[in-house]
Amino acid sequence: MAGIGIIGAGSWGAALSVLLHGGGHQVTVWSALPQEIEELKATHEHRNLPGVILPQEMVFTAELGEAMEQKDLLVLAVPSVYTRKTAASMKPYLKPGQLVVNVAKGIEESSLMTLSEIIEQELPEAVVAVLSGPSHAEEVSRGLPTTCVAASRSKTAAQTVQNLFMGPAFRVYTSPDILGVELGGALKNVIALAAGIADGLGYGDNTKAALITRGIHEIARLGMAMGGRFETFCGLSGIGDLIVTCASMHSRNRRAGILIGKGYTMQQAMDEVRMVVEGVYSAKAALKLAEKYQVSMPIIEQVNRVLFEGKPASEAVGDLMMRDKAVEAPALPWPEP
């Protein structure tokens, strides 16, 4: 049995607390919001996971030190926009060599850093890993079969995360490509916004398939330019996470996109979803990375124009469809005549 601190009591943190408790571990859940902790203590239910009971043995606290002390693993589960602030708050309580696994997905717009890079900057004495893949909290909390990937520069750290999270309904693979895993997890949220916008416009399965296929092409092209591995984007944190996020109504990014396609503004859509829509925060960063690495990302570009420049969604789709003719896979040779 391991002692595990869940830093963040959102739906994903709560779902993972149920999973880890079911694996026989002692789990402590922290939130920066005292009222959220009081609600969890009183009800042992999370408002975004109806019908899922949080075990009585689980500890809930608003004291960060209590959640971190004498823990074998810390799971950082706050939304990406709060990763830096939360990591900085953790520093006084961190023991040297502490394993921290980040489970949020995003890129910091101001620095263009991945979340693991932010954690390493704020907590230089930590050993950092990430857990990512097609894994909606609503399904993980109910014990539905799910697969993810644990990535770290340390093979031992990745294997430790694998061992602690593995169970009958939660299979974990390992990967050394932490950059590729994080980029896949962050950028798929932007493509999912596009998929939702297409749904909101009333488009069909052909459109969705096109966005998923060309979307992973854009993600892989940028990821490889930044040093990620092609195999990663063919895996769970690449095409796997992209498919589930573009297709499922559990996806807050898709739900927000649907509303935007129906005419909502970005802010109206976020207010309606009432949860953090990570793709909105990653969209600008993705476009800046595309410019920095000189990678063509037309879907990402059009999503930014719809979100931040008020471009009509139908016009953005039209511009995507009417771009210059292209070869699908330029590296493939034509046979000699």
Q: β-pairing, 3-7 with 73-76?
A: parallel
Supply φ then ψ for residue 129, to 5 degrees.
-135, 170
Two tokens, residue 233: 């984007």
How far apart are the C-alpha atoms of 296 and 117, rounded to whole Å?
A: 24
Question: Which residues have CB under 8 Å from 110's CB, separation 6+?
Answer: none
Active-site amino acid positions: 188
Strand partners, 76: 7, 102
Q: What angle do CA 120, 125, 128 make, to 5 degrees?
A: 45
How far apart are the C-alpha atoms of 283 and 218, rounded to whole Å?
A: 13
Q: What angle do CA 179, 184, 188 make, to 5 degrees?
A: 150
How far apart are the C-alpha atoms of 77 and 54, rounded to whole Å?
A: 17
How far apart are the C-alpha atoms of 154 and 159, rounded to whole Å?
A: 9
Amino acid at 308: F
How far apart are the C-alpha atoms of 7 and 16, rounded to whole Å?
A: 11
Strand partners, 152: 129
How far apart are the C-alpha atoms of 197 and 4, rounded to whole Å?
A: 39
How far apart are the C-alpha atoms of 216 and 245, rounded to whole Å?
A: 12
Query: Where do we find the tokens 């999973």?
Result: 19
Q: Are 149 and 235 in contact (CB under 8 A)?
A: yes
How far apart are the C-alpha atoms of 31 and 46, rounded to whole Å?
A: 12
Q: β-pairing, 127-132 with 146-152?
A: antiparallel
